[in-house]
A and B are shown apart, each in its own frame.
Chain A
Amino acid sequence: MNRVLGVFAVVAIIYLGLMSSDPQARSPENHQNLERRIGEWGILTLGVGFVILTGGIDLSIGSVVCLSAVSFGLILENNGPPWLAFMGVLAMGSIIGLIHGFLITRLNLQPFIVTLCGLFIYRGFAQLLTQINFGTIGAALTTGWPENARLLRDSSRNIGLAHPENLAWLTTLQKGNFPLGEWTGIVWLDIPNPLILFIVLAIAAYIALECGAFGRRIHALGYNEQAARYAGIDTASHKIACYVICSTLAALGGILFLVKVPSAAPASAGNWYELYAITGAVLGGFSLRGGEGSILGLALGTAILPLLRSLVIFAGIPSDLEFMVIGVALLLGTVADELLRRGSMSGVRRAG
């Protein structure tokens, strides 16, 4: 709990700094932008939180976001029904997580390596997908191979959002607000739907991890996998479940990405997102060694990066320095955390 209070203090300080930096920063618009961004990244952070709890890592999140955005766009472009596109992309995410989980638990590969390979493969696959002439394939299936037709284009292309008029519900989910402000007359209470979605998912995760048997087992195996195994826990399937959750949420993130932008460049869509997600979880108190972390802390930790980025903009810091500011802030936070921890050594040491 002390840790969560610490993260809260950090969030509060950055927030106050941001509010005092520029009148623009205090505007409802900026708040909504921030809240939307926190919601979008929070969904990814939540997913990687599950994986980190098991002592693993997922570096492929950004590429899964990209592949999902591209796949979703391509299905719509080829007149696939939106619900099918939506469910199909989520299913693809689950399968990706399943593959990660199997490779990690059954073949005993390291999560870092498996998901690093994923990082390359999914982005490359997304690029390949955008080069395929689906029209040619369609024609080939119905009328035979058209003359001079080629299966692949010369280069990859950006994927846009076709037929957005069919996607009212998704557009609302991404761009709409929860009209609490409208009802109450307080404009500040119009909360962007992505943040609402994140909060709902976070509550579900909280229940699963803090109240449910599932969460107990995840914490136990993350802290000491051998002891969990000796206690009769099927550690492999619990770990696989966490990778599935992570990649499925990343796929959801990819769909929201495309609806928002609304264009996905396979070379850049979702770049860095895995690192933002991991940073959010770590700032929120998740230990990369596994077994430690609370959802409340994660939710607060998720807010730090968007707030910092906004602060960089409004405080007039050259945007070229953004990454440096983020890196230094992260390092300072980690050092402070370690020093505080040493100050309050409880004597409980991690075995192994």
Chain B
Amino acid sequence: MADLPSNKRFLLEARGVSKAFLGARALADVRFGIYSGEVVALIGENGAGKSTLMKILAGVHQPDSGSLWLDGNSIILNGPEDAIRHGIVLIHQELNLAENLTIAENLVLGREPTWGGILGLVDRAATRVIAINALNRVGLVIDPNTRVGDLAPGQKQLVEIARALSLDARVLIMDEPTSSLSHQETERLTEVIGELRAKGVAIVYISHRLSEVSKVADRVISLRDGCNSGDLPREAITHDAMVRLMVGRDLTRLSRSSAKAGRVLLSVSGLRHQASPAGGISFEVRAGEVVGMAGLVGAGRTELAETLYGVRPMVAGKVTIRDNAFQPGSPAKAIKQGLLLVPEDRRHHGLILAESIRSNISLPNLKGISSAGWVSRQRENKMALHGIAELSIRTTGPEKAAGQLSGGNQQKVVLARWLAANPSVLMLDEPTRGVDVGAKSEIYDLIGKLVDQGLGVLMISSDLEEVLRLSDRVLVLHEHGLAGELSRDELSEEAVMRLATGTAPRRTTP
């Protein structure tokens, strides 16, 4: 499939596509093409424009300029329904299945076979036939009357693909399809992709997992900062080549003066929440070190941080902060001890988007700047301006609504808020997700500065490059348990992935 004749026409093509959101450029003059029966992997760092391009291909967004071509004909997609009519189907990262309905009901949703004329009664027998046929195409052997909510993540993914196929999809766009799948489920998905390719379906595959990409892709298209940054034909797909295209340079480790870890700031032993296995998790964070926390999506990293922060209940365990016993219970308690969380979901948990930068920074710090419940605007402005300057938040002023900032600047607002709150241990959950490259390196610099000042940082990240670059040591979680700990000398992508996927023997931590 890699050696297709070069004069062969693309099945789906995007030419010169540009798109901006609120003035921020997301895509600039991007081209993309895929042949039928081909698997093209779209790679790029977070914020490189992958998801924007994919949403334009699927009709969710409309390009500001540029054109889409299907079978050599120019097409305009005014919405996802247009794209589906043309046989272009997007499978979202967060699966869009109605969990309360059965597999069969989901598969025919919106186009149920009916009988009884005007009564429009659902033809259950016909539904079942459609469902069984669709499930056969993805090799999922299961009763179609099973509720989708009862399925494993991998099975849901296959149901979603089956639905796309039953819509006569010619182009299937998969956004991080394996992010919540187990190893076996991933293998199964790879097989299904191979079968679909043989049947002539074009597959756009978006993934952060480069090892997977090199397994399934016939061609790689890389984006960086909203522009094409190069393609790789089948034979040139290697891990290093992909990283070079995505990052634009060979990665060097952050040359932070090998930090001298100081006293223990946070000590956790036997911590368990509702989903934890027996025994729980134990670790320490010392002053002046960055402890990375890696693991697959669903390994329980966010849950762990949220339990410490008091957002979800702790079932068992002992926590001390600076040698004082601490009982997690509410964010307010954690904040009082200087244990702070920059949450993964900035838009829902981190910020009040409609409110100003000023009120977002002051929100947890109101007590310090008010007397008798009356907020001093002067002190509040000072706090906000200080945060804006210290983190170089790019804004017209402190009154700008947080929702109008770019992802990177939003993240800086969350960080500025906590720097004003006298932090001791900072827990960062995916600190650079959706953050552009420039802001990313600023955030890295800040993290370095903070640990130099004696803070402890616990950094959860799915971006392995980031984990490898910043961490002094790395804790790897697997299925809510600690799979192992890697010192700086032992750190490598392979070592982390081995622990994260549960293929390495469990190690006990000292």
Chain A residues at the B interface, C-beta cutoff of 8 Å:
207-208, 211-214, 216-217, 219-220, 223-224, 226-234, 291-292, 346-352
Contacts and interface: CB of A to CB of B under 8 A. Distances in A.
Interface stretch (B285-293, B369-377, B490-498, B501-509): B369-377
Contacts, number: 94
Contacts of A350: 353-354
16 contacts: A211-B374, A213-B370, A216-B362, A216-B363, A220-B352, A223-B352, A224-B351, A224-B353, A227-B349, A291-B354, A347-B403, A348-B404, A349-B353, A349-B403, A350-B353, A351-B403
A348 B353 contact: yes
A80 B370 CA distance: 43
B366 A227 contact: no
Contacts of A230: 309, 311, 331, 341, 343, 349-350
Interface of B: 22, 309, 311, 330-332, 334-335, 341, 343, 347-355, 359, 362-364, 366-367, 370, 373-375, 401, 403-404, 417
Given A230-B309, A348-B353, A351-B348, 9 more contacts: A208-B373, A212-B374, A213-B373, A217-B366, A219-B352, A223-B354, A224-B348, A233-B331, A347-B22
Given A226-B348, A230-B350, A352-B348, A213 B375 contact: yes
Contact of A227 (B22, B330, B352): B352
Contacts of B374: 207, 211-213
A224 B375 contact: no
Closest 7 CB pairs of A and B: A348-B403, A213-B366, A351-B347, A232-B335, A231-B364, A232-B332, A232-B331
A26 B304 CA distance: 68
B348 A233 contact: no
A64 B355 CA distance: 34
B349 A211 contact: no
Given A226-B348, A227-B350, A232-B331, A220 B370 contact: no
B412 to A, nearest CB: 16
A232 B364 contact: yes
A348 B402 CA distance: 8
B347 A216 contact: no
A224 B332 CA distance: 17
Contacts of B348: 224, 226-227, 351-352
A346 B363 contact: no
A234 B332 contact: yes
Nearest to B417: A231
B311 A229 contact: yes
Contacts of A212: 370, 373-375
A108 to B, nearest CB: 14
Residue among B359, B363, B367, B374 with max Cβ neighbours from chain A (10 Å): B363
Nearest to A213: B366
A33 B335 CA distance: 52
Contacts of B417: 231
A348 B401 contact: yes
A231 B353 CA distance: 13
B375 A211 contact: yes
Nearest to B349: A230
A347 B20 CA distance: 13
Contacts of B334: 232
Nearest to B22: A347
B384 to A, nearest CB: 13
Given A226-B348, A231-B331, A348 B354 contact: yes
A351 B347 CA distance: 6
A231 B363 contact: yes
A228 B363 contact: yes
Nearest to B359: A216
A235 to B, nearest CB: 10
Contacts of A227: 348-352
B332 A233 contact: yes
Contact of A229 (B331, B353, B355, B375): B331
Contacts of A217: 363, 366
Given A211-B374, A348-B401, A223 B363 contact: no
Contacts of A349: 353, 403
A245 to B, nearest CB: 15
A26 to B, nearest CB: 42
Residue among A230, A348, A351 with max Cβ neighbours from chain B (10 Å): A230
Nearest to A214: B373
Contacts of A346: 401, 404
A291 B351 CA distance: 13
Residue among A208, A220, A227 with max Cβ neighbours from chain B (10 Å): A227
Nearest to B367: A213
Contacts of B363: 216-217, 220, 228, 231, 233
B410 to A, nearest CB: 11
Contacts of A226: 348-349
Contacts of A220: 352, 355, 359, 363
Contacts of A214: 373
B404 A347 contact: yes
A291 B359 CA distance: 13
B219 to A, nearest CB: 36
Contacts of B401: 346, 348
A346 to B, nearest CB: 7
A171 to B, nearest CB: 34
A292 B354 CA distance: 10
Contacts of A352: 347-348
B344 to A, nearest CB: 11
Nearest to B342: A230
B366 to A, nearest CB: 4
A228 B332 contact: no
A227 B352 CA distance: 6
A348 B335 CA distance: 28
